[in-house]
């Protein structure tokens, strides 16, 4: 499937609602469950998505428009949420993510990117030359990846409880 803004925007728009549907009012140990030391909980993942809204997705669109390949993107801190989410509740994080996503989709719409703009190039600090289209496709794939991570973390809490059915549920990991 070739990347088209009109396909991708509806997916980006609903991610906050998907996370609310998955997580609101769940017992707390689901929200803070992880896959072991050094791995992320659903709570951490929402914080990571918030940091992306603040410093990655639309800021890098604007960076490409302003600098092209002349200036690399500032590096993205994948683990900023461990300090930035401290003291916040999950509902606060979900509200913050929803508000930031709405604002960012408005900022993006205001830029009125046309097909030519999708071919513009930027400079990633590790990956090198990338295009606006690749960056925007990654925004959507990144959302879906982290929704997938939330359900994987949750499913794995039952990796022992499901007994022999584990053989049918590869998401739970090898026995």
39 contributes a contact to its own copies by CB under 8 A: no
167 contributes a contact to its own copies by CB under 8 A: yes
Cα gap 73→60, rounded to integer Å:
7
Name beta bridge partners: 129.
123
Cα gap 9→7, rounded to integer Å:
6
120 contributes a contact to its own copies by CB under 8 A: no
169 contributes a contact to its own copies by CB under 8 A: yes
Cα gap 132→116, rounded to integer Å:
10
144 contributes a contact to its own copies by CB under 8 A: yes
Tell me which residue of 92, 84, 99 sits closest to 48, measured CA to CA.
84
* Interface pattern 67-106 for its own copies (x via CB under 8 A): ----------------------------------------
141 contributes a contact to its own copies by CB under 8 A: yes
* Shortest spacing between CB 116 and its own copies, in angstroms: 17
Q: Alpha helix (H) ranges present in the chain?
A: 5-23, 28-31, 42-55, 57-67, 81-84, 90-111, 115-118, 132-156
Interface contacts to its own copies, rule CB under 8 A: 1-3, 6-7, 10-11, 14, 17-18, 20-22, 25-27, 29-30, 33, 124, 127-128, 130-131, 133-135, 137-138, 140-142, 144-145, 147-148, 151-152, 154-155, 157-159, 161-165, 167, 169-172
């Amino acid at each position: 499937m070739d990347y088209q803004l009109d396909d991708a925007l509806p997916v980006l728009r609903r991610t906050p609602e998907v996370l609310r549907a998955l997580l609101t009012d769940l017992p707390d140990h689901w929200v803070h469950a992880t896959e072991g030391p050094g791995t992320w909980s659903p709570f951490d993942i929402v914080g990571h998505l918030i940091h992306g809204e603040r410093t990655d997705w639309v800021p890098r669109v604007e960076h490409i428009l302003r600098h092209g390949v002349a200036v690399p993107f500032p590096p993205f801190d994948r683990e900023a949420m461990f300090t930035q989410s401290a003291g916040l509740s999950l509902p606060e994080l979900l509200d913050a993510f929803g508000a930031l996503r709405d604002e960012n989709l408005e900022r993006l719409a205001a830029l009125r990117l046309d097909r030519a703009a999708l071919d513009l190039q930027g400079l990633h600090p590790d990956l090198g030359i990338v295009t606006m289209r690749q960056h925007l496709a990654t925004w959507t794939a990144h959302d879906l990846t982290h929704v997938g991570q939330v359900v994987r973390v949750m499913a794995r809490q039952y990796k022992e409880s499901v007994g022999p059915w584990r053989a049918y549920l590869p998401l739970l990991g090898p026995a």
